[in-house]
Amino acid sequence: MAIKINWSEKAQQVRKKIFKYWNTRNKSKEYSKKLNTLFKHSVTYLQEYPTMGRESGYQNIRYLIVRDYLIFYKIYIDSIIILRVWDGRRNPDSLHRSMLI
């Protein structure tokens, strides 16, 4: 049985903000489209290899590195929930506060 991938509301919101930022900065949607494709392909691999991401400092939460972004996820028996998309160049203290919400 294939593991289902679900994006949390917060992860979807942040992903949209990232794309909007790049669209505005580059005055084009091309980079956002490429980045979205990378996110989707990376997350798709989790269906076959759910533990391929690195362990985070949070219980049962792992993360993938995609370019400058970290995709945090949690594995359940029949699904994986994408919790957050995080720009790895940001202050890690704000990540800690974000993960607790």
Note whether 71 and 44 are within 8 A (CB): no
Is 94 a residue whose pLDDT tops 80? no
Is 96 a residue whose pLDDT tops 90? no
Segment 75-100 shows an average pLDDT of: 78
Average predicted confidence (pLDDT) for the chain: 88
Domain extent, residue 76, equals 4-100
Segment 74-86 shows an average pLDDT of: 93
DSSP code per residue over 10-37: HHHHHHHHHHHHHHHHHTSSHHHHHHHH
Nearest alpha carbon to residue 81 among 43, 54, 49: 43
Is 37 a residue whose pLDDT tops 70? yes
The strand pairing partners of 72, in sequence order, are 63, 84
| Number of domains within the chain | 1
Q: How many CB atoms lie under 10 A from the CB of residue 100?
A: 7
Please report the beta strands in 1-101, taking only residues with DSSP state E, as ranges in sequence order: 4-7, 54-55, 61-66, 69-75, 79-87
Share of the chain above pLDDT 70, in %: 88
Task: Write the CATH number for 48.
Answer: 3.30.2310.20
